[in-house]
Amino acid sequence: MNSIQPDRIKQLLTCKDNPCITLVLSTQNAVFNRALIQARYKQLCHELKDQLATYSVTPLIQDQLLRQCDNFSLNQDFWRHLDSSLIVYLSEHRFETLPCSSHYGDSIHISDRFQLKYLLPHVWDDLKFHVLSIQHHEVHLYSALNQQLIEHSEEHFPQDILEVTEHKGLNYRTQGHSAGAQTGQSTGYVGYYSGAGEILDEAHQDLVRFYTAIDAVLSRVLKNHTEPLILVGDLTHMHLFKNITHYPHLSEKILASQASFHNLKNLYQVCLENLAAPIENEKDKAIALVGEGELKKHTRVRLKFTDIVKASHNANIETLLLWPDEIQKDLHDDDMIESIAREVYLNKGKLYPWVQTAAILRHSD
């Protein structure tokens, strides 16, 4: 899963350099074929050199472009971390790389715009979620915004068990008990009998009160929110918190405490990876709806390319399934798939890679 800043996408969308070069390299099984993949990349650069020679680019610019490609081939650390395909965006003033999970064939595109149809189906720039981290006597709530985690620093969460126990003068270790709610969730008060031999039980109840106090703040801050909440902390304790919290949109996956999670960039990336399955499920639903459309003539499904073009121009595509290696041309457009992908993205539609081009409309037309 990729996290690409909207500003970076905008720069690629609006790039005025000419030429804009898009290199596509298959990098499947990179662990076993790294040397072969790097050799194929050099061959691709050699082919680019030949094509640039027939393009109206000055020798100085040609040398600059090819030098950037050569320098990139020497970045051994990058070549150790490849996915199924590699997309390179190259121009006089830009050099961008995108490892992606779909397998595309090797190709070179030289035109007055980058081929973003490879990038856009792999960018989930509107993905929203929250993270509650309870680690080492530190409690933090973050929300994903613009491809980064922003802390709710204006909210005070209890940071230690002592804040809700005897340290605050709470004399609750007296004889008594109360029944839990019929739903099985904590009511916020857990009674028990104090006395000899109950040290472990008292520690457990302290933890319950601590998490109940945290949840009270959490429920207020995330009231009316429906985005997934990812928990980070000790696995056993986080399962206890899941039984206490009233927030209904918890992610199934709990992230175990790691020192690296103090780096918010690392934490954001790990959260994205763990949210990949639900996103893939949305893609599967879209594919299933397209299949249903073929069988039952679903009124929102479009498979005919001319219908997809029309819906794109009318900003009426909710979901676009496309195969970036496909190229459709007419007299006015040398790559209509690219044009449709850009229009759908700019109109806040969803894009997924698939084996053919299909569209699900916002509403029937």
Domain with CATH 3.30.1330.30 in the chain: 278-361
Can you name the residues that pair with 360 across neighbouring β-strands? Answer: 301, 319
How far apart are alpha carbons 128 and 147 in whole angstroms? 9
Q: Rounded to two decimals, what is the model's pTM? A: 0.64
For strand 250-256 and strand 301-302, is the pairing parallel, antiparallel, or unpaired? unpaired
Q: What type of residue is 202? A: E
The yes or no reply on domain 130-274 and CATH 3.30.420 is yes
| Structure-token match 């596509």, residue found | 24
Task: Quote the tokens at residue 248.
Answer: 């209904």
Our CA angle for 323, 329, 331, nearest 5°, is 160
Domain with CATH 3.30.420 in the chain: 130-274
pLDDT tens for 165-204 read 755 554 444 333 444 444 444 444 444 334 444 556 788 8
As a whole number of Å, the CA-based R_g of the chain is: 27
pLDDT tens for 273-302 read 787 666 677 888 888 888 887 666 668 999
**Domain 278-361 sits in which CATH superfamily?**
Ribosomal protein L30/S12 (3.30.1330.30)
Domain with CATH 3.30.960.10 in the chain: 6-122
pLDDT tens for 191-243 read 433 444 455 678 888 889 999 999 999 999 999 888 899 999 999 999 999 99
* The predicted structure's pLDDT at residue 172: 44
* The predicted structure's pLDDT at residue 132: 95
For residue 97, give the H/E element and its range: strand 95-100
Using DSSP's 3-state secondary structure scheme, residue 332 falls into coil
CATH fold label, 6-122: 3.30.960
